[in-house]
């Protein structure tokens, strides 16, 4: 955790070792920056009141989650336990920080990893199929389930067991094809599954749900890991366009956390997303670092149609490991 320094990742301030009651017991104690509450608790408060979480907060929390994942993936780390309980927020400022890196690991191509990882409701299907050579895209799936949960007010795939978890996923996505299973885990012993037709996303969320939110969820929650967008591409989706507007404020009147101050390091090998992530030249904090000239910026903007709801295609994986 000492190498993690990002506005949306919990900061390790200090650590020390202490002895237990027995001679061979040694404890590692972590002192982290203080954050008042988890997204899980905030979401439960709305559920108890039988109210939906305001869409602005859904956008702010999930945008900052994707931004945190983009950062950790860029430095070669897969979190492997993304869930609302591991998302800390300050209700006054709406700042979010990803925490609990106890399951995090640097994924190395060719090196096997445990498939029994990540909390069940948020576990990617390739893990359920026993994949041991998975990629950082398992975090993207988890983030997609978090977004869906905040929109629904409850987990989208509430499985009671590992098998039931797969059943819940199939109810929505339909039965995976042989090609899907091959992409998720090429070593999976082929079994026959009952043919189930997927449920339309509009029916999953119901009338009144933001169409752009539904579109983003549909892009994140797909069987083929390589078809999922990178976290940075998710940040560039039109669902988050309101957060890039200067007039966007919290209900209290306070300014929202900045969502356009991406650095060159954050953009990594996805610098083509800069015009979408930092749409106004005055807020292009990454211009100098990227040495973007006026002509280069104009050319980039001309290739991106602001009025389009198309999802920006990812260029590469956006990670230095695993993908």
81 carries an active-site annotation: yes
d(CA 230, CA 227): 9
Q: Which of 81, 90, 164, 288 is catalytic?
A: 81
**In Å, how far are 149, 168, 170, 203 from 161, measured between CA atoms?**
19, 10, 14, 25
Report the alpha-carbon distance of residue 57 to residue 34 in Å, rounded. 20
Would strands 95-98 and 26-32 be described as parallel, antiparallel, or unpaired?
unpaired
Token pair for residue 217?
């969820």
Crossing angle between the packed helical segments 211-220 and 137-152, to the nearest 10 degrees:
150
Number of H helices, E strands in the chain: 13, 5
Question: Residue 76 carries which DSSP code?
Answer: T
- Chain center to CA of 231: 6
DSSP assignments along 217-247, one per residue: HHHHS-SSGGGSPPHHHHHTSGGGGGGGSTT
Q: Which of 241, 226, 229, 232 is nearest to 269 (CA)?
A: 232
| Sequence-ordered alpha helix ranges (H) in the chain | 39-48, 55-74, 125-128, 137-152, 162-173, 178-184, 201-205, 211-220, 231-235, 264-267, 274-277, 287-290, 294-303
User: Could you tell me the CA-to-CA distances from 91 to 60, 64, 88, 99, 109 in Å, in that order?
Assistant: 11, 14, 10, 16, 39
Phi-psi region of 207 (alpha: psi -120 to 50; beta: other; left: phi over 0): beta
Question: Which residues lie below 8 Å from residue 178, measured CB to CB, with a gap of 6+?
Answer: 190
Q: Catalytic residue numbers?
A: 81
């Amino acid at each position: 955790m000492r190498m993690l320094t990002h506005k949306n990742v919990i900061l390790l301030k200090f650590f020390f070792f202490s002895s237990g009651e027995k001679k061979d017991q040694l404890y590692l104690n972590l002192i982290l920056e203080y954050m008042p509450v988890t997204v899980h608790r905030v979401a439960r408060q709305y559920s108890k009141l039988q109210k939906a979480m305001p869409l602005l907060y859904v956008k702010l929390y999930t945008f900052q989650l994707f931004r945190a994942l983009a950062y950790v993936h860029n430095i070669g780390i897969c979190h492997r336990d993304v869930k609302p309980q591991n998302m800390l927020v300050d209700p006054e400022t709406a700042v979010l920080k990803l925490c609990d890196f106890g399951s995090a690991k640097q994924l190395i191509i060719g090196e096997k990893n445990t498939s029994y990882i990540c909390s069940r409701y948020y576990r990617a299907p390739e893990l359920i199929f026993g994949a041991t050579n998975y990629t950082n895209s398992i975090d993207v799936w988890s983030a997609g389930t978090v977004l869906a949960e905040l929109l629904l007010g409850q987990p989208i795939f509430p499985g009671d067991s590992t098998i039931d978890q797969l059943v819940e996923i199939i109810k929505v996505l339909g039965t995976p094809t042989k090609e899907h299973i091959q992409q998720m885990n090429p070593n999976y012993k082929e079994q026959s599954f009952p043919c189930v037709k997927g449920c339309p996303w509009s029916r999953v969320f119901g009338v009144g749900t933001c169409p752009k939110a539904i579109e983003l969820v549909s892009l994140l929650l797909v069987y083929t890991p390589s078809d999922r967008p990178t976290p940075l591409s998710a940040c560039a989706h039109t669902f988050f366009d309101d957060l890039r507007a200067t007039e966007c404020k919290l209900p209290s009147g306070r300014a929202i956390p900045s969502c356009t101050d991406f650095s060159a390091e954050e953009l990594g090998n996805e610098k083509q997303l800069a015009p979408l992530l930092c749409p106004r030249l005055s807020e292009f904090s990454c211009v100098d670092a990227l040495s973007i000239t006026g002509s280069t910026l104009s050319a980039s903007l001309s290739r991106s149609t602001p009025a389009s709801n198309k999802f920006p295609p990812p260029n590469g994986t956006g990670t230095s490991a695993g993908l």
